[in-house]
Amino acid sequence: MPHPIARRHLLAGAATLPLAAPALAQAQWSPNRPIRLVVGFPPAGTTDIAARIIAEPLGQRLGQPVVIENRAGAGGNVGADAVAKAEPDGYTLLMQTVSSGAINYQLYGGRMPYKPEDFAGVSLVVRVPNAIFVHPSVRANTLAELIELARANPGRMNIGSSGIGTSLHMTGELLKLATGIDLVHVPFRGAGPMLAECVAGRIEVAVDNLPSVIGHFRDGRLRPLAVTTATRSPQLPDVPTTAEAGQPSVEATAWFGVMAPARAPRPAVERIGREIEAVLANPAIWARMAELGGMRADLVEGGGSTPATFDQFVRAEVAKWTEVVRRSGATVS
């Protein structure tokens, strides 16, 4: 018979055995049903495009389909709120954007249905420049010419965006703030509807993320005047930056990343984050992002991101855009 002390040790060890299997299973989280990736904007915009580029290969790596669900409205808030309130089990994710993930907190104020802490970062997928552009009928070939035209026609020209609170809206507000021009903001429920109106000539000026509009630039249906990043886009090497065009304060980079509800299992968050990074490391997949003007995340050495570094990035973005919105005076009526 074991010594009493030894017997106590054996019993204590045995008591821990039932816990070991579930803990190991959790650490090796593997989905057993489809995963929903919510996009807070309609199809054909940059958020939707980026989500669809990663969805299929991510599903292949996880062994379960990743299904895109478009839930548009309120500058991305409708879709984001649905994910914030979803069961935190790793099976509902959000393609978060700079608008619903940073800008809207100040813009909507007390009407925001969720808080930054309602989400857990998974992976910063891609960053993209915004572009300021016009319909070819507009008599402006440069940003300076557009500013002069708008000054001569105060309140008579429209500027479109994919929705109130998006980085596109705020880029337009920065342009107006920097130049004093009076352009009438026309928000749409996504980039797709906005671009259709702009191509038709019913919206003279617009701002969009480069991936969803670059095809229109290449076929001449829309004319780019400037990109809003610190350096020129390799996809549009002849288009100046806003700084080169004389407006250095009009700088904005849109970003798109996957987030989960805050209480999602950490092993699920870490696993999905690793698999997204592996997808983006595939040259064929990244070539599709780069062709659209996408820039790789650089939150860790060598490029890419982790859940922890994405969380840190989002906190900094919330602080930055809170100040920009406050300075612009933009509000949601």
Residue 116 has pLDDT above 70, yes or no: yes
Residue among 167, 166, 161, 212 nearest 184 (CA): 161
The model's pLDDT over 17-59, given as tens digits with 9 standing for 90+, comes to: 444 444 444 458 999 999 999 999 989 888 999 999 999 999 9
Residue 284 has pLDDT above 90, yes or no: yes
The model's pLDDT over 289-321, given as tens digits with 9 standing for 90+, comes to: 988 788 899 999 999 999 999 999 999 999 988
- Quote the CA–CA distance of 194 and 204 in Å, as a whole number: 11
Residue 86 has pLDDT above 90, yes or no: yes
The model's pLDDT over 192-237, given as tens digits with 9 standing for 90+, comes to: 899 999 999 999 999 998 888 999 999 999 999 999 988 899 889 9
User: Mean pLDDT of all residues in the chain?
Assistant: 90
Predicted model pTM: 0.78
113-142: b (≥16 Cβ within 10 Å) or e: ebeeebbbbbbbbbbbbbbbbbbeebebee
Confidence of residue 191 (pLDDT cuts 50, 70, 90): confident
* Residue 293 · residue 233 · CB < 8 Å: yes
